[in-house]
A and B are shown apart, each in its own frame.
Chain A
């Protein structure tokens, strides 16, 4: 078990007039190899939940264990935790600060006590992993890069620490379609090396349906569902919670309403395949 959350609750501005509950009794586990998606409308508690995972928010009630680090302990080992659990915030390109891309990517490894050689090696490897040309970008200022490149450099800064879990908050926000596709392909390609599991927070249901094995639905700080995308999108009425259905799912549901029954698919490719099969069968019968 990599992450074990039990009965986690959190209240902002405790004992002030602005008191606001953000999480209420959330329990879940993440095992090695999982690709977890977290969904929920704005204010559902997604950000609060993921900020707990590497100790950026102090535990108020419940228990939280990441790897073997108990976050309810008096002085949890934050350093090891943050090294092993990489977190990429929304618009991560805004955190770039060093003179050169290489120095920026090395910021994490150096903080986590990598030796100079190890940090150099990790930086080079990470820059190449995100699809940037190491020799071309390493001495350039991160500010000179294009939007998509900046985001890649920011991801490299996390990967260089060799995390085992990667948490991504809206990794495709603000990118154009081509940039989005590249980013999702990149994230998919990362899993397998040192990286064991990925947790993605997203508003884009199409992406969640296509790229995650498991989806967690939060609403008003409560965990409402923890299921496979098929179970969630075909079983639950997510629109009730201010979310949209993935287009593919919506099309299948519309067809079923009209008496056309095709399997519960989650991506465009499978939908086309199933529709072809269905229409060909119809042709033969006719």
Chain B
């Protein structure tokens, strides 16, 4: 059997308070694994520990207890630091603070240049990455004038040019308007479908988890629920504890179920409409 691409075993990381004691923030005793090609969504509110987890996965942080393996490599091994960082591409929250160059293609080239890839190959990788996210026509322009969604797509291309195995989006949709969010989500989903990368999407929008293979709910540094989106969404208790908000369709079906109607949990508006029709 193939090893999981991400293997987190009993990992703990706590930030220090001013007085040197462990603070509330961080993560405790996390254990989970992700297989190659999966699309996983990590859900949690601000301060639930989801960004700490992201940093544990690309080796920015090393667990104080437990282990994190990326494609079999231990993140605690300093010699493997850059191997892990190039295997785990990260896109961050603020679309304005991730580009280093004034020209889009130069920015996308930054990663492979750092890795010492030969110039001809960088050219190919940059063109391919920009085409994959649909930003190739913009390659000679400045990122500054793009919309938020386009900037994040460029950021994704910049990560893809390093040919990572895993793509982590650390709240990359949080600052975007609905159109921008959709752009980014569609891009990421198609990347995953075409088997380019394993995707870990970190968000507080539950509706972004609808198409995921797996969803984890984080609260106070712990995974309080895991499973398929359907399993996670129907655990009202966990959703409430994690201070998340169910998609309207799920919330409505939940209310109707509580009122004694025989309705299945529904995730999308379409599903809900169908269920109502079935019941009538």
Contacts and interface: CB of A to CB of B under 8 A. Distances in A.
Q: In their complex, do chains A and B touch, with some C-beta pair under 8 Å?
A: yes
A149 to B, nearest CB: 12
A254 B252 CA distance: 15
Nearest to B180: A42
A205 B269 CA distance: 15
Given A177-B204, A177-B243, A181-B245, A271 B252 contact: yes
Contact of A251 (B147, B174, B245, B269): B269
A192 interface: no
Contacts of B248: 206, 247-248, 251, 268, 271
Contacts of A279: 256, 261, 276, 279-280
A276 B255 CA distance: 9
Nearest to A170: B177
A88 B69 CA distance: 46
A255 B245 contact: no
A33 interface: no
A206 B249 CA distance: 13
A173 B174 CA distance: 8
Given A251-B273, A258-B273, A260-B277, A42 B177 contact: yes
Of the candidates B179, B243, B248, B270, the one having the most CB atoms from chain A within 10 angstroms of its own CB is B248
Contact of B273 (A173, A205, A254): A254
Nearest to B244: A177
Interface in A158-192: 173-174, 176-181
B251 A203 contact: no
A206 B254 CA distance: 19
Interface string B214-258: 000000000000000000000000000001110111011001100
A189 B47 CA distance: 26
Interface string B267-279: 0011011101101
A251 B261 contact: no
A73 interface: no
B255 A272 contact: yes
Contacts of B118: none
A247 B247 contact: yes
Contact of B277 (A205, A247, A258, A276): A258
A177 B45 contact: yes
Contacts of A181: 245
A279 B253 CA distance: 12
Given A147-B46, A203-B177, A251 B272 contact: yes
Contacts of B174: 174
A250 B252 contact: no
A254 B249 CA distance: 12
B61 interface: no
B199 to A, nearest CB: 21
Contacts of A72: none
A235 interface: no
B120 to A, nearest CB: 37
Given A177-B45, A275-B276, A244 B178 contact: yes
A282 interface: yes
Interface string A265-286: 0001001100110110010000
Given A177-B45, A179-B45, A282-B279, 14 more contacts: A147-B46, A176-B46, A176-B204, A176-B243, A177-B243, A177-B245, A178-B45, A203-B177, A205-B178, A254-B269, A255-B277, A268-B251, A278-B276, A279-B276
16 contacts: A146-B47, A176-B45, A177-B245, A179-B46, A203-B178, A205-B178, A247-B249, A250-B269, A251-B272, A254-B273, A258-B274, A258-B277, A268-B252, A275-B252, A276-B256, A279-B276
In the A-B complex, the 5 residue pairs with the smallest Cβ-Cβ separation, listed nearest first, are: A177-B245, A254-B273, A247-B248, A178-B243, A203-B177
